[in-house]
Homo-oligomer: A and B are copies of this chain.
Amino acid sequence: MNFKGKDVVSIRDFSKKEIEHILSVAKTMVPAAKGQEISELMKGKILATLFYEPSTRTNLSFKAAMLRLGGSTLGFTDAKGTSATKGETLADTIRMAEAYSDIVVLRHPQEGSARLAAQFSKQPVINAGDGAGQHPTQTLLDLFTIQDELGSIEGKNIALVGDLRYGRTAHSLAHALAMFDTKLTFVSPRTLKMPGEVIRHLEDEGAEPVISDDLESVIPDSDIIYVTRIQKERFPDPAEYIKVAGSYRLDQDMIKNAKQTMRIMHPLPRVNEIPPEIDATVHSAYFRQAFNGVPVRMALLALVGGVV
């Protein structure tokens, strides 16, 4: 399997076999990701990180990945002050970035921008989130986490919880999980339900997702509870938000009937969805999940850089 020079725009561009290969390479990156081993796989190479909107976690995790591989990084963390404000097109900025680097990471508020960038760049482009579009490295690190926490992804009971309507994380992850024959449950308030289009797609792919609005009843059977943030801005009525947010809050009482092996994941940052009391329980996997961004992104950089 040769990933050299390949763009990473959408998780849909990867077959199950390719995803498994990425995850297995990521596993080998863990010691260097922890700073326990020194890697020089990307020595002399430069990663350009073009963030047209801030995303500290994704940005720092890509940088850490490149640095842990012995490479270096340059770029910007928001669009202000860049040539975009002088009227430069994204295509031209990308051509600048490719002239100064070996791999380009792009975060952009506009859907489709990563695909466009990939068309113009001779260097591989990795999509770090394009608006309501794709965020494939988040999906890959989520898959890696499930595999790492449970031993395998195949056949697990996985509940996606929270804002399933606007949350792009949930859509991409659901698609990828369907490839692994998981049993999916979508838990959300009625106004934030998984879009019918996404569900039909999943059914076409052979999945049989269960829809629920009762989080508590879903927990006992779940292997993974994947929580996403419910944003206040989605609710015209603040009282409605408070009510909803309360019933999707994963406190101690809520998880008292969970399996011992059940793991809670969250793409972070969290606000009130998971209270700090959960952090010390055996169920919390979200901090390890955040770390997993590093070995997974190391694997991708090394793969598209053609050094593994």
Contacts and interface: CB of A to CB of B under 8 A. Distances in A.
B269 A92 contact: yes
Given A35-B45, A294-B99, A60 B75 contact: yes
Contact of A60 (B44, B48, B67, B77): B48
Interface of A: 32, 35, 37-39, 43-46, 48, 54, 56-57, 60-61, 63-64, 67-68, 70, 72-78, 80-83, 86-89, 91-93, 95-97, 99-102, 268-271, 276, 287, 290-291, 293-294
Contacts of A32: 44
Contact of A83 (B39, B46, B57, B68): B57
Chain A binding site: helix, strand, loop or mixed by DSSP?
Answer: mixed
Nearest to A43: B38
A277 B89 CA distance: 14
A96 to B, nearest CB: 6
Contacts of A37: 44
Contacts of A76: 56, 60, 77
A212 to B, nearest CB: 27
